[in-house]
Chain A
Amino acid sequence: MLQAENLFKTYRRHAVQVRVLNGLNLEVKTGEFLSIVGASGSGKSTLLHLLGTLDAPDSGTISLDGKRIDNLPAAERDALRNRTFGYIFQFYHLLPELSTLHNVLMPAYIGQTTMGWWKSRSKWRGRAVELLRRVGLSHRMNHRPRELSGGEMQRAAVARALLMNPRVLLADEPTGNLDADTGGEIVRLLRDINRDEGVTIVMVTHNLDIVSATDRVVRMVNGVVTEDSSCLKPFPASQPRLIAV
């Protein structure tokens, strides 16, 4: 479904050059829950940004269903981020001026014409409310992000990522800022979404405890994939356990 071939990416700051991706190859299959692990600076987040068209590789290609997406015009890449990909970040990245409900609705606000929004606003609102109920935040719809706990903010971010019914969820250390229990809840939520709705999920994490929830684990070292294996041990249904990969 999502294929990265021979990706190179170098960050330059003044005279300093840091090569982050070094000829990386990866294929993400439709409907799988893939986790990417690796040390800091191994290029996990950069890979996620490239896959989601937030950034462009120096060389190499990224394809979605066989069609290159890394060289698309800006407007088409914007459209992909709006409808095809859903992002979840470590620091939740909710807009602080807006209520939880408005944050969840933001992709629809961005993706809709004024007239289109006006015509279908009640449907969008209904879907956002349903998503918030599903992630257990129906009682927090009108609260601002600063009034929510870390776990609640991340659940709101998940609801936002799901609003446009994306085909791929890109989660950048979704549990990195949460305690173990709350992180476990978020991972279970993602796994449920993956299983129930068939949404492909690519999750970057440091936390080896949660990768057991995923179908496949990829390890990155110095900008290349060094290990690619299926996760054999089941992720606990209620209490997370420490499982080494």
Chain B
Amino acid sequence: MPPVSEPPDAGRERETNSVYKLLLCVRYLQTRYLAFICIVSVMLGVATLIVVNAVMSGFSTKLKTRLHGILSDVVIDTERMDGFAKYDNQGRPLFDHHGQVMGLSPDEMIARIKENDALWDKIEAVSPTIEVFAILQFNFQGQRQSKPVKVIGIDPRSRTEVGGFSEYLVRQTGATAPTFDLTPQALKQHEDNKRARDWNAAPTPIAPNLPRVPMPGDIPEPDPDIMKAAMPAPELHGVIPGYSLAHFRFRNEHGQVVEEAVLKPGDDVTIVTIGGGEIKPVWGTFLVSDYMKTEMSEYDASFVYVPLHQLQAIRGMQDRCTALQIKLGNYEADKLFVTNELRKLFPYPDVRVDSWEERQGPLLSAIEVERSILNILLFMIVGVAGFSILAIFTMIVSEKYRDIGIMKSLGASNRGVMWIFVGYGLLLGAVGVALGTVLGLMITDHINQIEKFLTDLSGRALFPRDVYYFKEIPTNVAPLSVMAVNIGAVAIAVLFSLLPAWRAARLHPVRALRFE
């Protein structure tokens, strides 16, 4: 028999040897087809979580963008219908010689803010507004329509500087100085409407033209030509209604959502609201000059923008306003400082100073809570995958009793045997997570095509666009969220493999070798 060479020097550091653990993990993965059930479970759980998170995050981000978009960074507003009021040092309102509360004009408020240099430095733009509930009336197909709305009086230029206005205008999208002016087409529509109204007006019966008998002391008849010359042409005021107010959406006979403009540029609307000083109805007539399309159904269905000075005139508010919209240079860095300083400047019971997040706090919290709950519920899918790992690993450990005995007879430690199965769980989890991440990202990337395919297949709209006003399902893949899902799924795979691995490690080698 030929001699065999000596074995290489085998200096042992027993707890750092991983070769056999890795080799067996990989071989078990390649040969145990039961393991693919674990991989598929983890993969589906991870993919679902990634898709749902991406869609929820997409909705949330888009909603936040929209919510912030139309709101300024910081808002100062008052509960008073007649606008901001002046107060003395004791916090009591000041009255003029008519017994009326003295108003605080936007210029006076801005001047007060400017006195605080540190505060003013952080403010980029300010715009006064009036916000009040109202009834919007207009004619549609010969019938008078009335809708409850929120009328917002703005100065379009300064409101644009604050942000969240011109970017949502349909005709003047992104204009640096949008106006309420009517286009020639709108003016033509206005003239056409007038003619149509005159045409449709029923002819009044004309009394027989009897010669008038002059009476003593009669006021002489006015000269019609002089009357016409002295009368100024009526001023036309523009109005910008929300897109959904001006457009009706309905399903046609084929079940398709169709949209019809009920207020065209140049159409006139009447806005009825209450006076600023006294509780009495006031109204004004405006002509549609543009639309506001924020894709936020609540805003688009209830907001109506009119010129600030005109709303002040109608409501008898002179130069007062009910809110100051403020844009900050660096919102995230300065929001706390600015709101605190403004609260110190206007510490009145009817004045509120809020950042846009505070103003929308309940809605933003609701979205976050919804997302968290959904995540917890969906993570149970991965939990189910974990239980399938537990069940399958228990079976595999039972199958591998003898192998465990062999390894122990060859010098493998209990811990080494345990790590084979924990490593196996880790490997299954990692492969499942990798495949699930790829699948989840692919589904997220093609979610609109998938939705369209499923809608065509089932004949039911999975994502009704008339509800959400989004053209597409919004998605936002947050790398941190994907990473958290990955780590969580791998951790669950490892966690659920611990018990079978521990059982394997505790197995007595002699009993294992005798196992049939």
Per-residue CB contact flags for chain B residues 271-310 toward chain A (1 = under 8 Å, else 0) read 0000000000000000000000000000000000000000
**Minimum distance in angstroms from B105 CB to a CB of chain A:** 78
Q: Is A218 an interface residue (CB 8 A)?
A: no
- Is B7's CB under 8 angstroms from A164's CB? yes
Chain A residues with CB below 8 A from B414, complex form: 74
Q: Tell me, in angstroms, the Cα distance from A165 to B17 when the chains sit together.
A: 19
Q: Is A17 an interface residue (CB 8 A)?
A: no
The 3 closest A-B pairs by CB, nearest first: A82-B411, A109-B20, A97-B27
A120-B8 contact in complex given A75-B14, A98-B27, A134-B1, C-beta closer than 8 Å: yes
Chain A residues with CB below 8 A from B403, complex form: 95-96
A86-130 contacts to B, CB under 8 A, are 87, 89, 93-98, 102, 106-114, 116-117, 120, 123-124, 126-127, 130
A112-B24 contact in complex given A78-B411, A83-B10, A106-B410, C-beta closer than 8 Å: no
Task: Give B contacts to A, CB under 8 Å.
Answer: 1-14, 16-20, 23-24, 27-28, 30-31, 402-403, 405-414, 416, 508-510, 513
Q: Tell me, in angstroms, the Cα distance from A162 to B31 when the chains sit together.
A: 28
Q: Which of B12, B405, B409, B413 contacts A112 (CB 8 A)?
A: B12
Q: Which of B5, B10, B18, B510 contacts A55 (CB 8 A)?
A: B510
Q: Which of B5, B17, B509 contacts A54 (CB 8 A)?
A: B509
Q: Tell me, in angstroms, the Cα distance from A79 to B416 when the chains sit together.
A: 13
Chain B residues with CB below 8 A from A113, complex form: 11-13, 16-17
- Is A110's CB under 8 angstroms from B20's CB? yes
**Minimum distance in angstroms from B399 CB to a CB of chain A:** 10
A107-B410 contact in complex given A93-B402, A98-B27, A112-B17, C-beta closer than 8 Å: yes
Chain A residues with CB below 8 A from B510, complex form: 49, 54-55
Q: Is A179 an interface residue (CB 8 A)?
A: no
Chain A residues with CB below 8 A from B9, complex form: 120
Q: How large is the interface on A (under 10, 10 to 19, 20 to 34, 35 or more residues)?
A: 35 or more
**Minimum distance in angstroms from B91 CB to a CB of chain A:** 76
Q: Is A192 an interface residue (CB 8 A)?
A: yes
- Is A196's CB under 8 angstroms from B3's CB? yes
Q: Tell me, in angstroms, the Cα distance from A102 to B410 when the chains sit together.
A: 13
- Is A117's CB under 8 angstroms from B19's CB? yes
- Is A97's CB under 8 angstroms from B31's CB? yes
**Minimum distance in angstroms from B273 CB to a CB of chain A:** 79
| A-B pairs with beta carbons under 8 Å apart, 10 shown | A78-B408, A79-B12, A83-B411, A93-B513, A97-B28, A109-B19, A114-B18, A117-B17, A124-B7, A133-B2
- Is A165's CB under 8 angstroms from B7's CB? yes
Closest A-chain residue to B416, C-beta based? A110
Chain B residues with CB below 8 A from A111, complex form: 10, 12, 14, 17, 411
Q: Tell me, in angstroms, the Cα distance from A54 to B406 when the chains sit together.
A: 11
A112-B7 contact in complex given A93-B406, A95-B406, C-beta closer than 8 Å: no
Q: Tell me, in angstroms, the Cα distance from A134 to B416 when the chains sit together.
A: 31
**Minimum distance in angstroms from B445 CB to a CB of chain A:** 38
- Is B4's CB under 8 angstroms from A112's CB? no
Closest A-chain residue to B411, C-beta based? A82
- Is B4's CB under 8 angstroms from A127's CB? yes
Q: Which of A97, A123, A126, A133 contacts B24 (CB 8 A)?
A: A97
Q: Tell me, in angstroms, the Cα distance from A97 to B33 when the chains sit together.
A: 13
**Minimum distance in angstroms from A91 CB to a CB of chain B:** 8
Q: Tell me, in angstroms, the Cα distance from A114 to B17 when the chains sit together.
A: 5
Chain A residues with CB below 8 A from B7, complex form: 108, 123-124, 127, 163-165
Q: Tell me, in angstroms, the Cα distance from A42 to B402 when the chains sit together.
A: 23
Q: Is A81 an interface residue (CB 8 A)?
A: yes
Max chain B CB contacts within 10 Å: which of A80, A87, A96, A111? A111
- Is A165's CB under 8 angstroms from B6's CB? yes
Chain A residues with CB below 8 A from B31, complex form: 97
Q: Which of A87, A162, A192 contacts B410 (CB 8 A)?
A: A87
Q: Tell me, in angstroms, the Cα distance from A134 to B7 when the chains sit together.
A: 15
Q: Tell me, in angstroms, the Cα distance from A227 to B513 when the chains sit together.
A: 28
Q: Which of A74, A134, A162, A165 contacts B413 (CB 8 A)?
A: A74
Max chain A CB contacts within 10 Å: which of B14, B17, B19? B19
Chain A residues with CB below 8 A from B10, complex form: 83, 108, 111-112, 116, 164
Q: Is A52 an interface residue (CB 8 A)?
A: yes
Q: Is A131 an interface residue (CB 8 A)?
A: yes
15 A-B pairs besides A93-B405, A93-B406 with CB distance below 8 A are A54-B409, A78-B411, A78-B413, A83-B411, A95-B24, A107-B410, A110-B411, A111-B14, A114-B19, A124-B8, A130-B5, A134-B2, A163-B7, A164-B7, A196-B3
Chain A residues with CB below 8 A from B508, complex form: 55
Closest B-chain residue to A80, C-beta based? B411
- Is B14's CB under 8 angstroms from A78's CB? yes
Chain B residues with CB below 8 A from A127, complex form: 4-8
Q: Which of B3, B5, B23, B410 contacts A81 (CB 8 A)?
A: B410
